[in-house]
Amino acid sequence: MREWSTLALLAMSGIGLAAGDATPLSDGKTLNGWKPLGGTAEYRVVDGVIVGTSKFEKVNSFLVTERNYSDFVLEFDVRQDVGPTNSGVQFRSASKPDFENGRVHGYQSDIDPSDKAWSGGIYEEAQRGWFYTGDMNPPGKSLYKYGEWNHFRIEALGSRLRTWINGKPASDVIDDGHRSGFIGLQVHSINSAEEAGRSTSWKKLTVQTKNLKRAPPMNIFIRNNLPNNLDADEKAQGWKLLWDGKSSTGWRSAAGAGFPQKGWTTANGELAVSAKSGAGDVMTEQQFGAFELQMEFKTSAGANSGIFYLLTAAHDPASGAPLGLEYQILDDERHPDAKAGIDGNRTIASLYDIYPRATLRTNLGVKPVVGAWQHARIVSREDGSVEHWLNGVKVLEFNRHSDDYRAHVAGSKFKSTPKFGEAERGHILLQDHGDAVSFRSIKIREL
């Protein structure tokens, strides 16, 4: 009954099934066409099912196809019922002698039975880490059913990577890091002997490489890793480029008319400020009310900066700071401001000097790294609710019209400013705090 319900879900979602042009990846009897890489986990075929069983070791194991695939639709059923353990399916992946002695790397659709529930998320194994966490698509977190057969679909067409679980959208990524590679079944390394012997089972593995047609839009958040690029599906969701990636159009100095003549540059697809330039902050000419804002930022060692929103004045007479809410950008490990304030409310992604962000996860691609591009996202709704996101994880949520918010403001450096941060509309501002910081892929959609 479950298989029929999966087919029905796929049909109702508008996803074309691969059946007519799909090729089985397993003969149901042997592991012909596959080879092991990485660790020493055991892979065997039992009653037409490929079963991978964990061993106590610190190296991930993979059973990979001998053939590479570029554009394709991959479908399979997966089940875990011998102790929850992380797994995943690699695609467009590789193992090369010149990369960490043959370590498997490339895209992965995660299989995550833990409370984190990031199954179907897209991860770049051994490289940049998480592109699309389960948190970015909250309804997708409940799709994977531990102890049952789950139907996965992975669509890799050009730079567009999308996944579904049991006929429902899980993740949507645009990235050009890998255009071809093998498919692999992962048995994750384990941290204790108690986890040895846990298994992940796969069946009905098929791949379609001909007569490919992209499935309809998923209508979930799209993580676009192409710099300053706006996909047609993003446009359909209401997203616009707030910075065009090449000029100062739409931006001006916070100190007055015109764009700064020094300090800020718009070259190489980056809106960047140099260290100790004295250029001052830059802000949008347009004001916004309810909105969703996203961008990538890259800091130098020890840097301090910020993304201000709902800005009503370039400088607050009481505090001297820009008069708006600040998504803090900071090198927490090196800058002393991380230890100032109250309870960490000056650390990266915090609402500066008002609310601290949550404890950061340490996953690759989620934990911020100095000198690498990080993804910031701010959601400000009409009812006053606000969210701060960092690298695909929501790290702060508050309501700027609540008594709790006002109490926190009363204990901050903004306590003398009436109704601080409660304006209906305001500008977006990028701060020059005297350190080298770069921004790109600045996008906004009004809510």
Closest CA to 233 of 447, 377, 443: 443
What pLDDT score does 321 carry?
79
Q: pLDDT exceeding 70 applies to what percent of the chain?
A: 95
Q: 400 falls in which pLDDT band (50, 70, 90)?
A: very high
Residue 28, token pair as written in the block: 């149901």
Indicate whether 7 pLDDT > 50. no
- What are the domain boundaries of the chain? 2-208, 227-446
Indicate whether 268 pLDDT > 50. yes
Residue 124 and residue 122: Cα distance in Å, rounded?
7
Indicate whether 19 pLDDT > 60. no
Task: Spell out the CATH class of 227-446.
Answer: mainly beta
What pLDDT score does 15 carry?
63
Cα 384 from chain centroid?
25
Residue 106, token pair as written in the block: 């490339």
Average pLDDT in the chain:
95
Indicate whether 12 pLDDT > 50. no
What pLDDT score does 112 carry?
97
Q: 18 falls in which pLDDT band (50, 70, 90)?
A: very low
Closest CA to 348 of 323, 363, 319, 326: 326
Instruction: Record the pTM.
Output: 0.95
- pLDDT tens string 43-80: 999 999 999 999 999 999 999 999 999 999 999 999 99
Closest CA to 38 of 125, 127, 104: 104
What pLDDT score does 316 carry?
75
Instruction: Give 158-162's long-range contacts (Cβ < 8 A, gap of 24+).
Output: 158/71, 159/226, 160/214, 161/107, 161/122, 162/215, 162/218
What pLDDT score does 6 carry?
47
Q: 81 falls in which pLDDT band (50, 70, 90)?
A: confident
Could you list the beta-strand ranges (E) of 95-167: 105-111, 122-125, 129-132, 150-157, 160-165
Indicate whether 155 pLDDT > 80. yes
- pLDDT tens string 32-41: 999 999 999 9
More confident residue, 11 or 335: 335
Classify the phi-psi angles of 384: left when phi > 0, otherwise alpha if psi is within -120 to 50, otherwise beta: left
Rg (CA), the chain: 24
Q: What is the mean pLDDT of residues 415-438?
A: 97
Q: What is the mean pLDDT of residues 246-267?
A: 96
- Tell me whether the CATH fold assigned to 2-208 matches the one assigned to 227-446: yes
Helix H or strand E encompassing 112: none
Cα within 13 Å of Cα(21), Cβ side: 12
Q: What is the mean pLDDT of residues 409-431?
A: 97
What pLDDT score does 20 carry?
65
Measured at the CA of 218, the angle between CA 215 and CA 221, to 5 degrees, comes to: 140
Indicate whether 263 pLDDT > 80. yes
Domain 2-208 has CATH 2.60.120.560: yes
Range with the lowest mean pLDDT among 4-8, 200-204, 443-447?
4-8
- pLDDT tens string 315-374: 777 667 799 999 999 999 999 999 999 999 999 999 999 999 999 999 999 999 999 999
The string of DSSP codes covering 321-368 is S-EEEEEEEE-TTT-GGGGSSSTTTTSTTSBTTTBPPPPPP--TTTS-
- pLDDT tens string 198-238: 999 999 999 999 999 999 999 999 999 999 999 999 999 99
